[in-house]
């Protein structure tokens, strides 16, 4: 592991004694305690998977092991729970959960990397599993109790401020934003330096100094009336911010705005390196060539995340929803209605994402079976019992034009389409479909009709 620029919390008692900031990092500032039991229980299973590894170095691919993946899921779920009841948009919640999962994946990689040398004893021989597990229990206690509690508090504060930022954006610059500390004797001097700074939401100051500005930071930002407060000159505000964070060992990590970046944790955090702050991970560009182990682990974790999905129950069946789907997209509710309808009939249903020029690996995660077909490169909306379907909505108020446009667009993605109900008779639509098949030679296997009242069958190739 290259850790030259890795500014970590603490690594054992030696770090705690050498770093006076360590105590403040891990004390529970808000008094909240995360429920870490599931993570600690899963740690043993993850160590069992690690014990089966061979070779002189840890394989990045171990992150895809089922026991390791479950550990990451459990860890991310603890962090997600910190803002379970925080009001925010569905899209913001989705993005924050993505951030939690990536953070958990990189942290898990660190735990595995730290535990890996314990596989061998002083003579270089492999330990018994019992001895190995006993030797790594300290890692579990440190990472999954002490550190996780501090991370839980940070996630709670960060998500809360992200939700606030969404609210602030609704009002634009109608109000000023004002930085405020908790105002008691426990306020850090460096944070007191920021107290009272007043600026419009569009000011770049908030890109760097929006709370939380450290572990267990209790600072906040509030809206204030323009006729009551005078704005702080931008240069003065930036100077105060620079002075405030100059002595913070972790200041570079917290130079982000969770609401603007839609992330619980900054890209540069205790489990990454400083250049991660400028890496464009949000675009999931998988053509990037890693130049060290941290980057390689990060890229592999992204690939693992792409394969993740949300599972919702529909009676006795389920619908799988890709985490790459935007729940605030205009057709999300319609697609979910369609998916739930077919799942209620006993079908296995997946909702899949639209992609614009994705890397080959990302495309193949969902649409590999379209390779070599006339639909290669397309991204149909749904896979129902292994068969692709495309949904199309109205594109014009004229019902005949709407019907033709939906068929034209939908049939480019799949020969099985589901269209929104136009104000046309079934007889008219079936006749139009027949003309396309017998006159134009179009391949049409199925057409379904969707309306707010339900999904119904219109045409199927005999």
pLDDT digits (tens, 9 = 90+) for 307-346: 666 777 777 778 988 877 878 788 999 999 999 999 999 9
What is the rounded distance in angstroms from the CA atom of residue 386 to the CA atom of residue 348?
8
What is the rounded distance in angstroms from the CA atom of residue 319 to the CA atom of residue 335?
11
Please give the sequence-ordered ranges of beta strands (E in DSSP) within 172-296, or none if there are none: 176-180, 198-200, 220-224
CA-CA-CA-CA dihedral for 33, 39, 41, 46, to nearest 10 = -160
Nearest one of 208, 277, 275 to 239, comparing CA atoms: 208
The pLDDT of residue 239 is 95
What is the rounded distance in angstroms from the CA atom of residue 282 to the CA atom of residue 210?
20
Q: Beta strand pairing status for 387-392 and 446-451?
A: unpaired
Residues 6+ apart with CB under 8 A from 193: 240, 241, 243, 244
pLDDT digits (tens, 9 = 90+) for 368-385: 899 999 999 999 999 999
For 221, list phi and psi in degrees, rounded to 5.
-135, 135
pLDDT digits (tens, 9 = 90+) for 174-230: 999 999 999 999 999 989 999 999 999 999 999 999 999 988 899 999 999 999 999
For 394, the token pair is 């109205």
pLDDT higher than threshold 90 for residue 453: yes
The pLDDT of residue 9 is 31
pLDDT higher than threshold 70 for residue 20: no
CA-CA-CA-CA dihedral for 159, 161, 163, 164, to nearest 10 = 170
Average pLDDT of span 11-35: 36
Contact 51/87 with Cβ under 8 angstroms?
no
The pLDDT of residue 321 is 87
pLDDT higher than threshold 90 for residue 292: no
């Amino acid at each position: 592991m290259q850790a030259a620029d890795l500014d970590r919390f603490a690594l054992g008692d030696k770090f705690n004694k050498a770093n006076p900031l360590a105590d403040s990092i891990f004390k529970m500032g808000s008094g909240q305690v995360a429920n870490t039991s599931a993570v600690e229980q899963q740690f043993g299973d993850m160590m069992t998977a690690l014990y089966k590894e061979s070779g002189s170095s840890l394989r990045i691919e171990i992150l895809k092991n089922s026991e390791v993946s479950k550990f990451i899921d459990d860890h991310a779920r603890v962090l997600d729970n910190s803002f379970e009841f925080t009001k925010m948009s569905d899209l913001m919640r989705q993005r924050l959960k993505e951030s939690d999962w990536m953070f958990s994946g990189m942290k898990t990689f660190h735990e595995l990397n730290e535990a890996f040398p314990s596989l061998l004893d002083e003579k270089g021989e492999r330990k018994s599993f019992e001895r190995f597990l006993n030797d790594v229990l300290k890692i579990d206690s440190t990472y999954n109790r002490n550190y996780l509690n501090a991370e839980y508090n940070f996630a709670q504060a960060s998500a809360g401020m992200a939700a606030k930022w969404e609210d602030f954006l609704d009002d634009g610059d109608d109000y000023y934003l004002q930085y405020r500390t908790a105002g008691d004797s426990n306020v850090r001097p460096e944070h007191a330096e920021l107290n009272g700074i007043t600026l419009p939401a569009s000011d770049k100051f908030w890109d760097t100094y929006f709370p939380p500005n450290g572990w267990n930071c209790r600072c906040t930002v509030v809206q204030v009336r323009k006729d009551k407060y005078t704005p702080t000159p931008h240069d003065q505000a930036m100077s105060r911010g620079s002075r405030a964070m100059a002595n913070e060992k972790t200041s570079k990590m917290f130079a982000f705005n969770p609401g603007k970046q839609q992330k619980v944790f900054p890209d540069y955090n205790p489990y990454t390196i400083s250049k991660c702050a400028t890496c464009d991970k949000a675009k999931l560009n998988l053509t990037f060539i890693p130049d060290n182990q941290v980057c390689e682990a990060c890229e592999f974790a992204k690939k693992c995340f792409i394969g993740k999905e949300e599972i919702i129950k529909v009676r006795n069946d389920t619908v799988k929803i890709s985490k790459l789907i935007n729940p605030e997209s205009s057709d999300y509710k319609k697609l979910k209605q369609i998916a739930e309808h077919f799942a209620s009939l006993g079908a296995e249903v997946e909702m899949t994402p639209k992609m614009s020029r994705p890397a080959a690996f990302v495309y193949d995660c969902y649409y590999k079976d379209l390779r070599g077909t006339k639909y290669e490169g397309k991204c149909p909306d749904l896979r129902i019992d292994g068969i692709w379907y495309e949904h199309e909505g109205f594109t014009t108020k004229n019902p005949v034009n709407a019907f033709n446009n939906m068929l034209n667009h939908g049939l480019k993605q799949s020969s099985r389409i589901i269209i929104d109900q136009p104000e046309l008779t079934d007889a008219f639509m079936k006749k139009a479909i027949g003309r396309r098949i017998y006159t134009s030679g179009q391949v049409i296997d199925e057409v379904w009709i969707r309306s707010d009242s339900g999904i119904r069958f219109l045409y199927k190739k005999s």
